[in-house]
Amino acid sequence: MIRALVLAACLIPSLACAQQAQTNGVDHKTMMQHMQMMGAQAAGVSVPTEPGQGAFAAIQEIVAILEADPDTDWSRVDIDALRAHLVDMGAVTLAADVKSEPVAGGTRFLVTGSGAVRDSVRRMVKAHAAAMNEIDGWRFEASDIDGGASLTVWPPAKDAGKLRGLGFFGLMAQGMHHQQHHLMIARGENPHH
């Protein structure tokens, strides 16, 4: 059985080479890499799938989407802007300080940092408040404060416990708009309008 799997692993790349001459318009290098991975998996060899870092993976995913879309306007694509946004996300998530205080019907989060972190906080908090305001009855309001930004959130009464459970970072991750937001940034579109 093991010999058969090893033989298959050796033959699959060879078969791919033989088929290469018969295929037109196919990316042969990608096909070969795919066939080699399939052969390695058939032989029981582990094949890496993780790109190694979250921001890199997000960029890699967006680049693949853009390359697969024949309507991509490459003159507008701005991967550097996407990277800058991902840097902001990392700075807020990993380096910002957050304090919370109750307000009537909600919570105010005071989010601070110094230098680049402060600037990232301001951009991220304002953008998220604009994207999430009035969705499912939640109200968001953001403003600059010394060293960062405040985010005041008023959920519907039934979601008061959810607000406590989510806290600031859960709120920032809330909503599946982030992936579309990243694609819009990369395409050179303004995702906040």
Percent of the chain topping pLDDT 90: 64
Secondary structure of residue 106 in the 3-state scheme: strand
172 or 1: which leads in pLDDT: 172
If you average pLDDT over residues 39-54, what whole number do you get?
A: 74
Tens of pLDDT along 126-155? 999 998 999 999 999 999 999 999 999 999
Residue position matching structure tokens 């395409």: 187
pLDDT value at residue 16: 40
Mean of pLDDT values over 117-128: 97
Q: What is the model's pLDDT at position 190?
A: 76
Structural contact between residues 125 and 113, judged by C-beta atoms closer than 8 angstroms: no
Strands, E, within the chain: which ranges?
Answer: 97-103, 106-112, 139-145, 148-154
Residue 46 φ/ψ, nearest 5 degrees: -70, 140
pLDDT score, position 19: 41
Q: What's residue 160's pLDDT?
A: 96
C-alpha 19, offset from chain centre: 37
Higher pLDDT, 41 or 139: 139
Longest dimension (CA), the chain: 71
Residue 87 has a pLDDT of 97
C-alpha 169/C-alpha 151 separation (Å) is 11
